Copies of this chain bind each other. A is one copy, B any other.
């Protein structure tokens, strides 16, 4: 038996009307340390995706009721990766799912080990390959939530760190205040976008990044490296 490793526990949504298969997948996910949510039809997928931070969906395209490919499209629109299950002999189906944006498929019947391996490939791909980012003598560890400048640890508050993370993920790209608010504060923040300015100022001060964090007039900010 191969040992499957994954640095990070993920939350995975399983959608399959066949309980036996649904449970089989669930058991294997549990074994390797992932959380999961089980659904037996495609109807509530949107709701679940909305209410939970799902890292990956495993979906049987042969669902009763709703068309499986439509469900894939919905999920893809939300930028959540999908692996879909399909019959071994239906080549057209296999290809179609990939074409509409799914990450991968598994033909049934499948080996659980293979499913887990493919899940991990996708999780790995969507995960930061290097959780340590070094920019301009500053080491940012996205896992540990720490920032080191010349061996000295700089304490960051939550918001400051999230903002820093967003800037790093989008380095050299100008981010509008609205986008920053959306990503760091959430869709439902109805405060002043000036709040962003204050936090930017805090980062600039703590990291001595007056030059690295550029203001884009009438728009937002850009981290330059």
Look across to chain B and name the residue whose beta carbon is closest to the beta carbon of A145. B174
- Chain B CB within 8 A of A192 CB: no
Q: A145-B174, A173-B144 are in contact. Are A114 and B92 (CB under 8 A)?
A: no
Cβ of A104 under 8 Å from chain B = yes
Some 17 contacts from A to B, beta carbons below 8 A apart, are A2-B92, A91-B111, A91-B113, A91-B114, A94-B114, A94-B117, A95-B113, A95-B117, A98-B117, A98-B121, A99-B117, A103-B125, A144-B173, A146-B174, A157-B217, A158-B218, A158-B219
A 79-108 binary contact with B (CB < 8 Å = 1; else 0)? 000000000000110111011000110000
The residues of B that contact A125 with a CB separation of less than 8 Å are 103
A204 within 8 A of B: no
A120 within 8 A of B: yes
Interface digits, A108-122 against B, CB 8 Å rule (1 contact, 0 not)?
A: 000101100110110
**What residues of chain B lie closer than 8 Å to A120, measured between beta carbons?**
98-99
A50: min CB distance to chain B, Å: 22
* Cα separation A118 to B103 with both chains bound (whole Å): 9
CB-CB contacts below 8 Å: A157-184 with B: 157-158, 173-174
Q: Which residue of B lies closest to A91 (CB)?
A: B111
